[in-house]
Amino acid sequence: MNLSYRVYHVFVRNLVSYKRFVLTTFLVSLIEPLFYLITFGIGMGAYMGLFGGKPYLFFLVPGVLVSSVMMSSTFECLYGTFVKMVHERLYDSLIATPVSAEDAIAGDIAWGAFRGLISGTLMMLVAMAMGILPVSLLSALLLLALMVFVGGLFASLAMIVTSFAPNFDFFNYYSELVITPMLFFSGVFFPLDRFPAWMKTFSQFMPLTHAVAISRAVFSGVYNSGLVLNFLVIFALEAFAFYFGLKRMKKRLIK
């Protein structure tokens, strides 16, 4: 793996380009998670009673927050990377300079993680405005760190998918068969203990399940030893996905 400080320059290049669309992307990043908070948290939550002695919205926010990180980082490294690779030919221009293929790919993964962090931070600010916030400053910092890890994980996974994609339609398989089921069966909207045993077992193979568990613990300030396993699953999968994503994309870029 041939990474250098030039990863930073690729990241900065994306940041400069992003400034032109910052307002519209902020709004887009807020719409879907805010929709979930209003319809599920406030609307449906009025009929669901208390969860652990608190309104349903307190249960919902931690899951929606990390799922918004997942969605933003995923779509940035699916559609955004594909456009830069195929339509803009940006990667061809980058690797013609001292920037290596690994630097260019890692810079895009870092950028995808940062886009996820932006979405998650916006959601956290909205939740705080609604009176739902981490129990302490340390918890808020831990939540930001979690968002970085979750963003990096799903950006890396999306990069793997992009390395195989012949066209935009290919992404529908990943979105509909992986991302959408993960959104609904990882404990984001409903407690996993209400699901059948086979579904609870299946959910443990979904990385979002582990991210949601950590997010809820950070919001509540209640930690247990099982969270160590949750973090190790995220870290191990992210390390593998990052390495394999670099390898696969480099193979596609350098033929």
Measure the CA–CA gap between 164 and 11, rounded to whole angstroms: 23
**What's the pLDDT score for residue 136?**
77
**What's the pLDDT score for residue 160?**
97
Give Cα separations from 112 to 38, 158, 165, 220 (angstroms).
26, 9, 18, 28
Burial group, residue 23, by CB count within 10 angstroms (0-12, 13-18, 19+): exposed
Nearest C-alpha neighbor of 205 from the set 175, 182, 223: 182
Q: For each of the chain's 255 residues, which pLDDT tens digit applies?
A: 678 888 999 999 988 888 777 777 777 767 776 777 777 766 666 666 666 677 788 888 899 899 999 999 999 999 999 999 998 888 888 888 888 999 999 999 999 999 999 989 888 888 887 778 787 788 889 999 999 999 999 999 999 999 999 999 999 999 999 999 998 899 888 888 878 888 889 899 999 999 999 999 988 888 888 899 999 999 999 999 999 999 999 999 886
**What's the pLDDT score for residue 45?**
61
Q: Where are the beta strands (DSSP E) in the chain?
A: 50-51, 54-55
Cα angle at 66 between 229 and 49, to 5 degrees?
Answer: 95
Measure the CA–CA gap between 27 and 64, rounded to whole angstroms: 16
Length of the chain: 255
**What's the pLDDT score for residue 110?**
96
Radius of gyration of the chain (CA): 19
Give Cα separations from 127 to 40, 63, 216 (angstroms).
14, 12, 13
**What's the pLDDT score for residue 102?**
93
Which residues lie closer than 8 Å to 183 by C-beta, 6 or more apart? 67, 70, 208
What tokens appear for 242 in the block? 């990052």
DSSP 64: H
Nearest C-alpha neighbor of 145 from the set 64, 234, 206: 234
